[in-house]
Amino acid sequence: MKEIRTNSRLEKILKNGHIAVTSECGPPRSSDAAVVVEKGHLIKDHVDCINITDNQTSVTRLCSLASCIHLKNEGLEPALQMVVRDRNRIALQSDILGAASFGINSVLCLSGDHQSFGDNPSSQNVFDLDSMQLIQTVRHMRDEGKFLNGDEIKVPPKIFVGAAANPFADPFKIRVPRLAKKVAAGAEFIQTQCVYNLDKFEEWMKGVVDRGLHEKVYILAGITPMRSVGMAKYMARAVPGMDVPQEIIDRLSGVPKEKQAAEGITIAVEAIERLKECTGVSGFHIMAIEWEEKVPEIVERAGLYPRPAVD
Amino acid sequence: MIVGEQKPFDEIWDMVKGHKQLTVFGCNTCVSVCHQGGNKEAEILASLLRMRASQEDVEIEISDGGIERQCEHPFFDKVQETLRKSEAILSLACGIGVQFTAQKYMSTPVYPALNTTFLGDVPAEGFFTEKCQACGDCILGITGGVCPVSRCCKRLFNGPCGGSSDGKCEISKDVDCAWQLVVDRLEALGKLDDYEKITPIKDWSKDRAGGPRSFKLEDF
């Protein structure tokens, strides 16, 4: 078995050869942490790790770090999502130390949606580092025990480092090289964009496997169940970098409105079943947007429950 | 070159309407190329302000003039007298010219008629696009001659992000994805393999972040 470097349950699951299951919860637009804690409890027995989103779609929310601490205090295993949009390298390094000090064991390094999508389109953006450089930063802090300026960190943060990948964004020809770049930067696990176009995902994975990248990084395929045909159409039309094939829209359109949500769950379960057979896929990242209560059903129907125990 | 756009006329009028005398003062180099701040535009703007003053029954004497560059002392020689006598100056220069003029005439209000918008080029007649943010440490040599600092909305040094779609940026279908352009150019140069080299963390101290910048030629 590969060397375990952190206390991350996700790392232990993956390095023990299990199919990993992660999910994510979005914090509320209020100071009431009970909302995100409740979401966490809904899914905690069915996933290995719960990502907490970081002001997703650039909408101001209860912060990811505080939400992670609330989950940790409840005995859950959170992963800190960090975007480089809102913080410079001083704040990012500081938050990494802060997260590690609370026993938050996993981080997902992201660029972040542009602020024009959110509730403060007139805000400045930071982008002192990019997501690639944030991956390097966390690995540098953990493995070298040093800050970016070279100063020693007496107790380095023991954090398992992840990144995102979107096989469906353009230009497609650099999507495998881009993953290679993230691996070279130090990414240890990858959670992908929502996968609906399975053929294209498998084409990307073939490129990943051909270069042996699947042996250097654990890839978790992103799964988001559609709640309705309206959601599918919206994602196809309005979400940048999202690839929703017409056949998904047609399939949801083909069932009565009250049965579309169930059909969406079935489509998600079928996707997992198919991608379990895809070489190089190490797990699934289930993003049930404001629909967390459906995660257990998806995990169970996909044959991924119970979750393996790791010490 | 520096590109500017004239402020909304009402905003300009609100700034200057309280004066009894005003000199509308053009800058006939960069911002004249974009037809916003040259001496001809100063003349037109002065006319519009006179009409507005007349409509609102405001007594204000408005003259106009201009020089080639409001950012260097020698160009001011021929207009010293006019400017010194002005109660207020409405400068059609970029922010640099407005400040330079204001510093020369310490007790005279100098108002900006333009918003200085960007450093850009003229890819087609009457069309201007941003190409540089004067970040102080040019990396065009490794990005195929396409600047991610000014042209990627997240100024990613290792892009593109997941929002790149059909060559366009996630913020608008009217904005090219800078990293699509980088990749296209690297491919045309036969250097697509260079895409995988990780661009190191940038030293932003050479940018605005490091404070106001200057440099001095030793021979002067």
**Whether residue B111 is found in the same domain as residue B14:** yes
| Tens-digit pLDDT profile for residues A125-167 | 999 999 999 999 999 999 999 999 999 999 999 999 999 999 9
| 3-class DSSP assignment, residue A291 | coil
B13, HSE (Cβ side, Cα atoms, 13 Å):
14
Q: Checking DSSP bridges between strand A78-83 and strand A106-110, what pairing results, if any?
A: parallel
> Is B204 a domain residue?
yes
A292-308: average pLDDT: 98
Domain count, chain B: 2
**Whether residue B112 is found in the same domain as residue B145:** no
Residue A19 reports pLDDT greater than 90: yes
Per-chain mean pLDDT for chain B = 97
From the list B157, B163, B196, which residue is nearest A130 (CB)? B157
Q: Are B133 and B116 in contact (CB under 8 A)?
A: no
Residue B186 reports pLDDT greater than 90: yes
Residue A311 reports pLDDT greater than 90: no
**Whether residue B114 is found in the same domain as residue B144:** no
Q: Residues A37-42: contacts with CB within 8 Å, 24+ apart?
A: A37/A70, A37/A71, A37/A74, A39/A292, A40/A71, A40/A74, A40/A76, A40/A78, A41/A74, A41/A76, A42/A292, A42/A293, A42/A295, A42/A296
- Other residues' Cβ atoms within 10 Å of the Cβ of residue A303: 11
Looking at the complex, does the CB of residue B206 fall below 8 Å from at least one CB of chain A? Answer: no
**Whether residue B42 is found in the same domain as residue B101:** yes
> Is B161 a domain residue?
yes
Looking at the complex, does the CB of residue B165 fall below 8 Å from at least one CB of chain A? Answer: yes
**Whether residue B90 is found in the same domain as residue B47:** yes
Looking at the complex, does the CB of residue B174 fall below 8 Å from at least one CB of chain A? Answer: no
| Tens-digit pLDDT profile for residues A72-118 | 999 999 999 999 999 999 999 999 999 999 999 999 999 999 999 99
Closest CA relative to residue B197, chosen from A178, A205, A170: A178
Calculate what percentage of chain B has a pLDDT beyond 70. 100
**Whether residue B140 is found in the same domain as residue B112:** no
- 3-state helix, strand, coil split of chain A in percent (to 5) is 45, 15, 40
Residue B27 reports pLDDT greater than 70: yes
The model carries a pTM of 0.97
Residue A1 reports pLDDT greater than 90: no
Calculate what percentage of chain B has a pLDDT beyond 90. 99
- Other residues' Cβ atoms within 10 Å of the Cβ of residue B104: 16
Looking at the complex, does the CB of residue B175 fall below 8 Å from at least one CB of chain A? Answer: no
Domains by residue range for chain A, with CATH? 9-301 (3.20.20.220)
> Is B149 a domain residue?
yes
**Whether residue B155 is found in the same domain as residue B90:** no
Per-chain mean pLDDT for chain A = 97
> Is B129 a domain residue?
no
Looking at the complex, does the CB of residue B157 fall below 8 Å from at least one CB of chain A? Answer: yes
Q: Looking at beta carbons, which residues of chain A come within 8 Å of B156?
A: 111, 127, 130-131
> Is B123 a domain residue?
no
> Is B142 a domain residue?
yes
pLDDT at A241: 87
At B28, which amino acid appears?
Answer: N
Query: Phi then psi for A244, rounded to 5 degrees?
Result: -110, 105
Q: Which residues of A touch B (CB under 8 A)?
A: 85, 89, 111-114, 116-117, 125, 127-133, 136-137, 148, 164-166, 169-171, 173-174, 177-178, 180-181, 184-185, 193, 240-241
Given B67, B93, B118, which residue is the final one in a domain?
B118
Collect all residues with Cβ–Cβ distance below 8 Å to B180 and sequence separation of at least 6.
A170, A171, B160, B164, B167, B168
Closest CA relative to residue A95, chosen from A73, A66, A71, A118: A66
Residue A240 reports pLDDT greater than 90: no
Residue A2 reports pLDDT greater than 90: no
Q: What CATH number does residue B75 fall under?
A: 3.40.50
Task: Give the nearest chain A residue to B182 (CA atoms).
Answer: A171
Distance in angstroms (rounded) separating the CA atoms of residues B193 and A174: 10
Given B64, B86, B118, which residue is the final one in a domain?
B118
> Is B95 a domain residue?
yes
Residue with tokens 């002067």: B220
Residue with tokens 């090289």: A177
Calculate what percentage of chain A has a pLDDT beyond 70. 100
**Whether residue B68 is found in the same domain as residue B169:** no
CA angle B55, B61, B66 (to 5 degrees): 115
**Whether residue B200 is found in the same domain as residue B150:** yes
- Its domain, for residue B9, covers 2-118
B168-182: average pLDDT: 97
Distance in angstroms (rounded) separating the CA atoms of residues A188 and A174: 20
Given B85, B118, B151, which residue is the final one in a domain?
B118
> Is B124 a domain residue?
no
Task: Give the nearest chain B residue to A117 (CA atoms).
Answer: B171
Tell me whether residues B170 and A240 touch, CB distance under 8 A: yes
**Whether residue B154 is found in the same domain as residue B109:** no
